[in-house]
Structure formats: C-alpha cells, structure tokens
C-alpha cells in the first residue's frame, strides 16, 4: 500500500486516481477516513481539555472574586468595629476625665453632709463603671507607669476566719507519662461576707512539675466578676441587694460592715458597684429582648431627682417601667432611666415592638399608639380612682354608685385569676361585657343631667373619653383590667427615693435601673434576690453569651432555690 501511495505521489493529481483499482480506492478511502477520524478525535480531546481548563479558570476566578468580596466585607466590618471602639474610647475617656475633675470640686459646700456622702457614692461608682468599660474594649498592653505606681492593696486582717479552697489539676501525670511532683503553690485571698460575719477565702493553687521534661502544671485562676478583686461574689451580691433592693446607701453599709469586723471604704464599695453594673449589662439587655417578645406589656413612669450641673442643684428625671402581665408565662420587669418624661424615651425602648400596651392617659404614649403597631388598653383603676376621690371628699351618691359597678367588674376578674384563656374570655363576654354596656348608658344619663365643670362631670368625662381603651380587655383575655401591676413595680422605687434621695448622674441612674431590673424580676419570680444574684455573678464570667438567657430570673434553676 505504501508503494501505491508513493507512486501516486509521483503522478499528476488528475491521473493518480485513474491508475488505482477499485479495491485500492476502497482501501485508500478507509485509510483516509481512519486518519481523519483519529485527527478529529484528537482535536475534540484537545478542545475538551481546553474547555476544562477554561472552566477551572472561571471557577478559580469566581472563588477569588468571592474571597476578595468576603475579605472586603470583613475589612469593612473591622473598620466599623475599630471606629466604634475609637469613638467609644474617646467618649469614655472624656467622661472619665470629667468624673475625675468632679471629684476635686468643692462640692460639699453645696450639699448637706448626707447628700455629700451620696454624691461621693455615685461619683465613685460611675468611675468604676467607666474604667471597667474601658478595660473591656481597650487591648491589653504592658503595665503603665500609673499602674506600676498605684499603691498596693493592704492585706486582709489576720483575725478574720479563713476558709481554704484548693484548686488542683485534674491529673498529676505529665504528658510524657511521668508522675508530677508538687513544688509549691500560689495563694490568693478574697473577702467573703455572710450577714453579720466576715471571713476570708484562701484560694490555694498547687504547682506540679515534671522532673523529666520540666513541664509545670497548675489549675487556672477561677474567673471572677471583678478580675483580681478581693470581694467574693457573695459579698458583691450583698452590697448590690443592700443598695438596690433594701435601699441602703453605701455610707450606711460601710458603717454596718465596720460593726461586723472589717470596714470597707465607701469609695471601694462604689467602685465595686460600678464594675458589677458594667458586667451585668449583657444580662439586662437579654432580659429586655425577652420582654419585648411579649404581646401585652404594662408601662408606667415615676419621677426621680438627678443632680444638675449647676451649684449642686437637682432636676427631675424619670424611671420608666415595662413589665409582662401577671398571667404571662414569662414574668419580667425592666426599668429604663431617662432624663425626661418625653414620649421619645418610650418610643426608643419599644422600638419596633407590636402588641397591646396597658398604660394611663399620659400623652407621651400617644405617639406610640398612633402608628397602628401598638394598641392601647386603658387602666380601669385610674377611672375608678376619679370616683373614689370624690366619694371620700364629699360622699357623692353618684360616685358611690359608680364604685359599686366597678366593684362588680373586679369581682369577676378575681374569679378568673387562675382560669385559662378561653375560660377567661367566655366569662368576660357573658358577665363583664353586659355590665360595662349598662355602665356606659348610666354614665351618659348622668352626664346629661349634671351641670358642666363639676368634679363628678370630670370623672364621668374621663371614663367616657377613654371608654374604647377601658373596654379593650373584654376582647383580649391576655389583657388585664388595669395597670396596677406596673404600679406595684414602681413602689420599690418610691421607697428607695426616701433613702438615696436622688441619682448622681444619668449613668448612675441607668446603672441603678439595670440592677433593679434583675433584682425585681427575681422577686416576682419568687426568688431570693441575693441567692439569684450571687449564683449568676459566679457563672457569668465563663457563661457562653449565646446561652445567656439561661441566667435570666424566669429560667434560673439552682440546685436549691430559696423562695420569698
């Protein structure tokens, strides 16, 4: 065949095919088809390889684009975080310098002796809280000259009882297999307090070393709410409960502790309060988030004096209270300290919350209700109070009749306190609704008979003007008849005002509101505030933030719950 092809190559093209026989032509066609098929397959294979390379290149390019985009987004987040920290550090640094300057003012000439002590208490607590917040967002650096020159803490008195708490490694066998030898120990002391009795906890951390590989093992330092501080969580809980639940100012606590055998300076107690306030903030924020998941909330507010900037004067600030209902599965109350009674503070706290708000007729709530996200439920106790005051003042017969009608409505509510939602709704529909309808007609009749401007007309007009909100509870079994539950949560604040007189600053008011939120929520859940706060502060330093709801009062489950 090769000879045929060679001879054909020597012939002119038009004579080459004529010289071949039919068999030779067929063989030639087969050979050429085979060579063409092989060349085609080779080209297709190379094209497939090129397509694969192109696909791989495109995939790599897309991956690179995604990685670049992710890196860019991370860089933007890092830049925002850095900017936030820089702004926060500047704000806290400025606030810290202002607080330090205030501590050198001749402030006591503007206050009585008692007010001066309270001013020092608020100031030192604010200093402690600001310094604690600065430490959480400022990266650790080498000890500054200020820190090195700071006076060392005096040792705790030797006459106080000592309780040893030993911390040893879980295993005393080295990773190389050798038995570790105890070569010493580190001892740190913390001041503990049981009502009326001080003691010292000696935390002993043994040192274990391996002679073979020179490995040193020691149990880690237990995490604490105040890093490197001397107070135990029991002592801190006692201070906070004394101050915010029992309303004992720190200067009084200093006197009480001195009688118990160890005088703790008021300035030191204030620093502890400020640091605890900063550490407990995440817990309070989680409590607020849980509260805003409720569909029905109570709201009320009460004035609190706060120190002004001029010559030791004071001005009115307000403590707002938000609480879940008594029939809710979640019992929680959150206080919010604000510089005024403006409705914007309630709007800021509730943000995008939707539901029914049980409140009084204060205009500050109207801007919330006007956006159609929040439905207003009136307070029957407020309407009743108008008639009660008239009856006490002049024994009004119309007021007495109104009070009897109110009494029937409250008797119905007392009978369904423990009933389920459906039963409560049925009874309200069958019993309370007809009474309210008759009450409304009676009010209209009395309104037409009496002259305008009298006290009884004002009481009637209040109820008629608020009638739609007063009857809202009839259509929703989750809604209570009045706002007394919120007023009950304000009573501890009224008692506290008689003891601590005023708040030292906006920051100290917000800190008090946060801590009182936890303590009051513990109370309405039937917990002992001291036992709850002590346990929570022991767990908080190492507790995962993603599970922080487990530490909230309505979910707290200690081994032995102490109820009140």
Whole-number Cα distances in Å, 366 to 321, 372, 478: 17, 11, 22
Return d(Cα 232, Cα 165) in angstroms, integer.
13
Reported as a single tens digit per residue, the pLDDT across 2-41 is 444 444 444 445 445 555 666 777 777 777 777 777 777 7
What is the predicted pLDDT for the residue at 181?
82
> Which candidate, 267, 137, 221, places its Cα nearest to that of 542?
221
DSSP state of 527: B
Q: Is 319:493 a contact under the CB 8 Å cutoff?
A: yes
Q: Confidence class of residue 563 from pLDDT cuts 50, 70 and 90?
A: very low
Check whether 119 has a pLDDT greater than 80: no
Section 259-269 average pLDDT: 88
Reported as a single tens digit per residue, the pLDDT across 240-249 is 999 888 888 8
Residue 137 or residue 48, greater confidence: 48
Q: Confidence class of residue 562 from pLDDT cuts 50, 70 and 90?
A: very low
> Which secondary-structure segment (H or E) carries 216?
strand 216-218
What is the three-class DSSP state of 401? helix
3-class SS letters over 147-206: HHHCCCCCCCCCCCEEEEEEECCCCCECCCCCECEEEEEEEEEEEEEECCEEEEEEEEEE
Q: Is 126:99 a contact under the CB 8 Å cutoff?
A: yes
3-class SS letters over 279-340: HHHHHHHHHHHHHCCCCEEEEEEEEEEEECCCCCCEEEEEEEEEEECCCCCCCCEEEEEECC
What is the three-class DSSP state of 376? strand
Section 393-405 average pLDDT: 90
Backbone angles phi, psi at 296, to 5 degrees: -130, 130
**What average pLDDT does the chain have?**
81
Residue 290 or residue 513, greater confidence: 290
DSSP state of 141: -
Backbone angles phi, psi at 205, to 5 degrees: -115, 105
Please give the biggest Cα pair distance in the chain: 142
């Amino acid at each position: 065949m090769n000879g045929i092809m060679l001879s054909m190559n020597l012939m002119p093209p038009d004579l080459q095919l004529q010289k071949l026989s039919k068999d030779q032509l067929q063989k030639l066609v087969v050979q050429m088809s085979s060579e063409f098929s092989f060349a085609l397959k080779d080209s297709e294979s190379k094209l497939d390889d090129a397509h694969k390379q192109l696909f791989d290149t495109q995939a790599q390019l897309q991956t690179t684009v995604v990685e670049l985009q992710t890196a860019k987004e991370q860089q933007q987040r890092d830049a925002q975080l850095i900017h936030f920290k820089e702004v926060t550090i500047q704000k806290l640094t400025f606030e810290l310098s202002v607080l330090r300057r205030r501590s050198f003012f001749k402030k006591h000439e503007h206050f009585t002796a008692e007010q001066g002590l309270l001013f020092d208490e608020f100031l030192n607590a604010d200093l402690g809280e600001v310094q604690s917040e600065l430490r959480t967002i400022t990266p650790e650096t080498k000890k500054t000259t200020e820190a090195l020159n700071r006076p060392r803490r005096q040792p705790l008195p030797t006459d106080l009882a000592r309780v040893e708490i030993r911390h040893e490694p879980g295993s005393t066998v080295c990773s190389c297999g050798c038995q570790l030898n105890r070569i010493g120990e580190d001892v740190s002391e913390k001041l503990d307090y049981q009502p009326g009795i001080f003691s010292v906890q000696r935390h002993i951390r043994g040192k274990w070393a391996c002679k073979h590989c020179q490995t040193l093992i020691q149990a880690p330092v237990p995490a604490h709410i105040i890093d490197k501080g001397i107070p135990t969580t029991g002592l801190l809980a006692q201070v906070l409960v004394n101050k915010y639940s029992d309303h004992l100012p720190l200067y009084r606590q200093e006197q009480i502790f001195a009688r118990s055998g160890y005088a703790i300076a008021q300035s030191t107690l204030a620093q502890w309060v400020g640091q605890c306030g900063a550490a407990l903030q995440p817990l309070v924020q989680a409590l607020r988030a849980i509260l805003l998941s409720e569909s029905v909330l109570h709201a009320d507010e009460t004035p609190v004096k706060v120190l002004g900037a001029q010559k030791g004067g004071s001005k009115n600030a307000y403590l707002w209270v938000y609480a879940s209902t008594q029939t809710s599965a979640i019992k929680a109350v959150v206080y919010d300290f604000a510089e005024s009674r403006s409705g914007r503070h309630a709007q800021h706290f509730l943000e995008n919350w939707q539901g029914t708000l049980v409140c009084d007729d204060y205009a500050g709530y109207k801007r919330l209700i006007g956006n159609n996200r929040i439905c207003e439920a009136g307070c029957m106790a407020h309407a009743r109070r108008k008639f009660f005051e008239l009856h006490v003042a002049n024994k009004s017969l119309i007021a007495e009749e109104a009070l009897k009608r109110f009494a029937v409505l409250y008797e119905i509510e007392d009978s369904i306190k423990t009933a389920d939602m459906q039963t409560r709704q049925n009874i309200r529909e069958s019993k309370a609704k007809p009474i309210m309808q008759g009450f409304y007609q009676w009010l209209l009749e009395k309104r037409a008979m009496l002259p305008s401007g009298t006290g009884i007309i004002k009481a009637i007009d209040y109820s008629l003007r608020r009638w739609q909100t007063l009857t809202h509870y009839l259509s929703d079994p989750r809604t209570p008849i009045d706002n007394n539950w919120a007023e009950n949560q304000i009573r501890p604040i009224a008692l506290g005002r008689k003891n601590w007189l005023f708040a030292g600053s906006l920051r100290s008011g917000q800190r008090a509101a946060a801590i009182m939120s936890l303590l009051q929520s513990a109370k309405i859940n039937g917990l002992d505030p001291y036992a709850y706060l002590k346990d929570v502060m022991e767990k908080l330093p190492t507790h995962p933030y993603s599970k922080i709801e487990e530490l909230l009062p309505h979910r707290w489950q200690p081994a032995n719950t102490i109820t009140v």
